[in-house]
């Protein structure tokens, strides 16, 4: 199973990757991108099974990235991982077709709950 982690912070990409392992998701192929532009190119080329994306990023935000995926007809399961978690953001995420929003900071248990429906 291929997971694409999108965050402009290498530190956060590392945290997400480590938390995935701690949550017991083994044998994952993890791809990384630093913003929505890079992620869109990678998603179009590699068709990951799940995308975990930050919200605020340079060049192309997570929300713009999700909308671009929709326009390209890629219905890949998608979750936002973000330090802000307002009702407005949840509404925007839902309208864009995101499957969940995971707020930072998070535990392996939080990650497990968010992903269990999407990771085999």
Binding status of residue 94 toward other proteins by CB under 8 A = no
Token duo for residue 40: 């869109």
Binding status of residue 75 toward other proteins by CB under 8 A = no
Binding status of residue 107 toward other proteins by CB under 8 A = yes
**CB-wise, 46 or 70, nearer to other proteins?**
70
Nearest 5°: phi and psi at 94?
-65, -45
Place of tokens 């975990």: 52
Token duo for residue 87: 């009702």
Give the N- to C-terminal CA distance of the chain in Å, as an integer: 8
**CB-wise, 49 or 92, nearer to other proteins?**
92
Question: How many residues in the chain?
Answer: 120
User: For residues 37 and 53, is the Cβ–Cβ distance under 8 A?
Assistant: no
Binding status of residue 61 toward other proteins by CB under 8 A = yes
Binding status of residue 59 toward other proteins by CB under 8 A = no
Q: Which residues bind other proteins (CB under 8 A)?
A: 9-12, 14-15, 18, 56, 61, 63, 82-89, 92, 103-107
């Amino acid at each position: 199973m291929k997971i694409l982690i999108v965050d402009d912070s290498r530190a956060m990409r590392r945290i997400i990757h480590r938390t995935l392992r701690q949550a017991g998701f083994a044998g994952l192929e993890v791809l990384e991108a630093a913003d929505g532009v890079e992620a869109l190119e990678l998603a179009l080329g590699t068709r990951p099974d799940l995308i975990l994306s930050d919200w605020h990023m340079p060049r192309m935000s997570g929300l713009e990235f999700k909308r671009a995926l929709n326009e390209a007809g890629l219905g890949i399961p998608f979750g936002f991982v973000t330090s802000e978690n307002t009702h407005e953001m949840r509404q925007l995420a839902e309208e864009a077709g995101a499957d969940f929003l995971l707020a930072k900071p998070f535990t392996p248990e939080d990650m497990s709950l968010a992903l269990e429906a999407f990771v085999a």
